[in-house]
Amino acid sequence: MDRFLSTGINIEAFYRMTASRDLENRSRTAMSFQPPNIGLDFSSAAVNAAFREQTVEQSTEKKHTWHCTKNTVLMFYLVLMFLLWIVLVSIMFIYYSNIFNQMNELKKNASLIQDSTKKERETWQEDLTMVNRSLVNEIAHLKSEVQSIKRSLGLCTSCPAEWTRIDSSCYFFSSSHQTWENSQKECTKMSSSLLILTSKKELDALRPLIGNKRFWIGLRKDNRYPWIWVDGTVPVFTNWNTGEPNNSAQREHCTEMITGGWNDLDCSNIIDYICRKPTIC
């Protein structure tokens, strides 16, 4: 039995040794393998050049692949940046469009407020003008009543020297020629004003003294009214000649009286004038 076991062990060792030798032989064969002789000299320059060309081609292909990949990535980022730029521009456009619309709305509201304020101011000015006109007329009326009362009591009966008394008024007929402005200044120096006519009766009483001469009277155009007396009252009596006033050459803003009839005339003309004031009380 022991002999049999010993024989088995020896056989196993033999197989192990044989396998080890086969493995070593195979390794040596692989290491010492030489390509078959097919007529090519692998150590020649042509073969080496061919292998180098193949290596260069492989390297070139790798580089080309890398460049393509790099260009693709770069293109991707460029497209991404372009899209982001479009989004940013769109957002800015919407933002500034809203601001522009708000500014236009504010301008529109400001314009409406300005127009409304202007209309209100014009309305107030018209109201104040009407009130002022009413007060001026009322004051003139009260003064006239006071003078009438004084005259009825015999308190106002005289006029200065060189003045002519007709009823309760004194009249001065100038002997020198002046412009309308200077005529009014001369009358003011004598505590009077250019002639203010309030009725046909008063005009008829003056006709004999007027004759055919030309005289300035106290009627003139105003920025607020077509015609107004020097005391601020609006005429309640007029005696314009036919076709007058015609504002010839757009310069006739003052009034002259010729034999009782009225004519608009350039204020810079030089003619006589008539001053008027109440009798002395």
- Model pLDDT for residues 79-111, shown as the tens digit of each residue: 889 999 999 999 998 988 888 888 888 888 888
CB 275 within 8 A of CB 197: no
Greater pLDDT, 60 or 213: 213
User: What is the per-residue pLDDT for 168?
Assistant: 81
H or E segment and range at residue 131: helix 45-152
Dihedral in degrees, nearest 10, Cα atoms 81, 85, 87, 89:
180
Mean pLDDT value across the chain: 80
35 versus 242: the higher-pLDDT residue is: 242
Stretch (H or E) spanning 164? strand 164-166
pLDDT over threshold 50, residue 280: yes
pLDDT of residue 47: 46
Which pLDDT does position 173 carry in this prediction? Answer: 96
Q: Which domains does the chain have, with CATH numbers?
A: 164-278 (3.10.100.10)
In the block, tokens 């192990």 appear at 16
Entry pTM:
0.48
- Predicted confidence (pLDDT) per residue in 23-74, tens digit: 555 555 444 444 455 454 545 555 455 545 555 555 566 555 666 777 787 8
d(C-alpha 178, C-alpha 274), whole Å = 11
Pairing relationship of beta strands 193-194 and 164-166 according to DSSP bridges: unpaired
Is it the case that residue 203 has pLDDT exceeding 90?
Answer: yes
In eight-state DSSP terms, residue 240 is B
pLDDT at 132 over 90: no
Whole-number pLDDT of residue 44 = 54
DSSP codes of every residue in 174-194: -SS-B-HHHHHHHHHHTT-EE
Per-residue confidence (pLDDT) for residue 26, from 0 to 100: 54
